[in-house]
A and B are shown apart, each in its own frame.
Chain A
Amino acid sequence: MKVGRALRAAVASLLLAAVLVLPAGAGGPVSITFWHGMSGVLNPAIDELTNDFNKLNPGIAVAAQYQGNYGALNQKLIAAVAAGQPPTITQLFPTWTEQLIQAKAIVPVQNFFSGPDGLSEEEVADILPLLRQTNTFNGVQWTMPFNKSLYLLFYNEDLLKQNNLRVPETWDDLLKVAKALTKEEGGRTTRYGFTVRSTEDYFFAFLLTNGGSYLQAGGREVAFNSAAGVEALQFLFDLVQTHKIAYVMSGFADADMGAGKTAMYIATNPGLAFAKAAAAGRFTVGLAPLPYKKNKATILSGTDVAILAKASPEQQAAAWKYIKFITSTNAQARWFMKTYYMPVRRSARDSTLARVYMRDNPEHRAGLDSLAVAKAEPSISEWNEIRTIVNGAVEEALLGKKTPKQALDDAAARANRLLSQRK
């Protein structure tokens, strides 16, 4: 009986000691999570940046966690916010930001500009103005641009050289070059000049280069069904159905170019890595600004980063430090060289590192030159659904089920109905 009581006392005191000692976990590094959608070759690049940051900042431990493609990341992010267990930092598209602001789920990065670890006025002005604009909502900068890209024309350089063709600059050039590069053998086309993906971004690329725009002034109605838009969609239809120098597909055009099925297509800069992998050294992949009709333009794409409000003040401070690091001049120059995303800072674009790299890899000139004419999509939460509606219209027109004007007008009616529900 005495032994039993002594034993019980010993266990009780051990438990008491444990309860008192364990919660004092402060002293270890502040650990934060960063949810992203960087797949393929981009994944080790983000890991490298994160590891560098962790080494330079022993008091902070950032865990960069891949969440799948951007669609999956969006779903997981919203679910995590709804469940009250969001990550500390997340990648996000500008169209997701509005929803998160309304739900009070994120903290403006602007709050950290004036803190002890903040950004000077020049450092803030160093960020490309277009990118600062797309990250600002109601006068407050909520998010920080991180991996931005834009749409370019991808082409098989060897094929163009072999056929003495100049890189297309206008829509007419595109038509001529695609015609010249379309090859037929035995009644069947073995190579097409151009790939048309039946997605909304293809249409938007041609809409913008024809002087069209997404929304009308005031933002309550869409403007993509203008004459410029109808002309753009008609041009795509003609490439496929009338001239038969392009084909419609929904998968990855880089694989088709690698297989010799197509000579040109449109995609964003980081796609260059995938295109090179698909080419596997058999030919050089070239990049050029989008062919234009009325004015040069391109679509700004890519994601920003935001800090979630649920994080503790220490975690938020640590998160800001990480964001400051990955958007710094040096990191952005290295990020650009590794992933082909656009540097978000002027100083990164003009740095010696970047300029030497571009001298040796001149195909990136196209992207940097296009930055001046890049246009961002509307950053409203309804835009995701509107993109799907436009996608449907593009499909209908390309498959000949509706005329381009009909398809776009129907899509515009549905999109306007959505927009009218905005408060």
Chain B
Amino acid sequence: MRGLARASSRRRRRLLENVEAWAFLLPAAAVLAVFHFFPILYAFYVSLLKWNMIDPVRPFVGIGNYAALLTDEKFLTALSNTTYFAVVSVLLTIPLALGFAVLLNRKLSGMSWYRTAFFVPHVTSLAAAAMVWHWLYQPDQFGLLNYLIDRVGLPPQRWLLDPAQAMPAIIAVSIWGSIGRDIVIFLAGLQNISPDYYEAAQIDGANGVQSFRYITLPLLSPTTYFVLIVSMIGAFKVFALPLFLTGGGPLDRTLTIVYSIYQQGFQFFRMGYASAQAYALFAVIFVITMLQRRVLAPRVHYDT
């Protein structure tokens, strides 16, 4: 008799605990549901329609939007531009960030100032930074960058107006802006490596380069793996830089996928098509991340 009563009171207590837990989760869950999950599902629904956001008539076109993507030269241009941007900016940023992190890992006086200096671009408002960079990149003799290279005797460049130079110029700004974040993450990873390893290596007679190659890099590999994946995902979503610096041009050389989504959805008001592009971007990032996992995960050395 008593056992049964205890069992039911235990069940009630568990139920109350669950309700309490859900009550605490409710605010965050509500925000996530309204601003994350609902838009994600609704966007998929919209991608099956032909809609301009205000027309009460919205015909169902099924996979029509997705089929159109495959033959849209503008979208394919955006895809190739974005891939070029992502690969180059990530492959340049990571070694640079690692190098600077190693340099910043010394215990010299004033080191915190240097670390701050590297991190400041990351916390600067992207819009403000882009405005300044736009001015720096002014073509002909009116831009600061051109003034500097003129001093060295080189002819002034068109930078953001030159189809060949525009994307590299944007990549440079992107590296400038994101290197700080990668440095901080690498620093944390470096400081997690126990000095015992370096001592042991020193005893065995290893020099700086050898201890970097055989101790630092392997033990840093979880961090490197993380930075690679996160940077690549973020790089595929680049939008603010082409928006502020080039407007997608010249000749669509800096048109990225998110910029194309913005253009289709909010300038031409083709919401269905824009949503389809968004899901295409999701698919691309998903595939690339899975590929990265396949290739890189086995090479990550976990310090157990």
Contacts and interface: CB of A to CB of B under 8 A. Distances in A.
Contacts of A100: 54
Nearest to B270: A385
B53 interface: yes
B53 A104 contact: no
Interface string B229-261: 000000000000000000101111000000000
Contacts of A30: none
B168 interface: no
B251 A78 contact: no
Contacts of A103: 52, 54-56
Contacts of B249: 250, 395
Interface in B160-218: 161, 163
Given A392-B251, A395-B250, A384 B53 contact: no
Interface bin, chain B: 20 to 34
Nearest to A105: B54
A399 B55 contact: no
B165 to A, nearest CB: 12
Given A392-B251, A401-B251, A384 B268 contact: yes
A75 B56 contact: no
Contacts of B140: 247
A102 B55 contact: yes
A281 B140 CA distance: 25
Contacts of A249: 139, 161
B54 A99 contact: yes
Interface string B118-155: 00000000000000000000011110000000000000
A96 to B, nearest CB: 10
B38 interface: no
Interface bin, chain A: 20 to 34
B266 A248 contact: no
B304 interface: no
B252 A392 contact: yes
Most buried by A among B54, B139, B247, B267: B54
A104 B56 contact: yes
B54 A82 contact: yes
Contact of B54 (A71, A78, A396): A78
B269 interface: yes
A419 to B, nearest CB: 14
A135 B73 CA distance: 35
Given A75-B266, A248-B161, A250-B161, A99 B251 contact: no
Contacts of A395: 249-251
A250 B54 CA distance: 32
Contacts of A248: 161
Nearest to B246: A250
A78 B53 contact: yes
A249 B250 CA distance: 11
A12 interface: no
A337 interface: no
A180 interface: no
13 contacts: A71-B267, A75-B266, A78-B269, A81-B53, A100-B54, A103-B54, A104-B56, A198-B250, A249-B139, A250-B249, A388-B263, A399-B163, A399-B250
Interface of A: 71, 74-75, 78-79, 81-82, 99-100, 102-105, 188, 198, 247-250, 259, 381, 384-385, 388, 392, 395-396, 399, 401
